[in-house]
Amino acid sequence: MNVNQPTIDKRWPALILERQIRAEFKRVVTTGLLECFLDELDGLVPRLLEVYKAATMSGKKQALKYILNCLEKDDTNERRTAALLGLPHYISEDPADIIRINKLLRYKL
């Protein structure tokens, strides 16, 4: 993060609440932000599964092994969650620095 760049609330003071951001997105692109994001994510999950499997098989990304179990389930929400949680592991970053995780979710995975 560039220290000289203003934070989002300084740059766009009217967009502080989630509902305000969603409303502005819908006004600009005429579709819902969450629906758009989830549709695109659903399209990427199969490829992420392949990439994570390859990284695990090479022995380089063993942390992804647990996430792969969730990606192979039929539950769409679990697959989405696992796909997003796997990204920091894949790029060798600490997930805690990138994604805020609900403490209860940690026990499910």
**Least confident residue range of 5-9, 47-51, 74-78:** 5-9
Residue 102 has pLDDT above 50, yes or no: yes
d(CA 109, CA 105): 7
Residues 26-57 pLDDT 10s: 888 888 888 999 999 999 988 988 888 888 88
Contact 92, 50 (CB under 8 A): no
Query: For residue 100, which phi and psi values (nearest 5 degrees)?
Result: -85, 125
Residue 59 has pLDDT above 90, yes or no: no
> What is the DSSP secondary structure assignment for residue 31, as one 8-state letter?
S
Long-range contacts of 73-77 (CB under 8 A, 24+ apart): 76/42
Ramachandran region, residue 59 (left: φ > 0; alpha: ψ -120 to 50; beta: rest) = left
Output the pLDDT for position 109: 45
Output the pLDDT for position 61: 81
- pTM to 2 decimals? 0.63
d(CA 37, CA 52): 21
* Distance between first and last Cα of the chain: 29
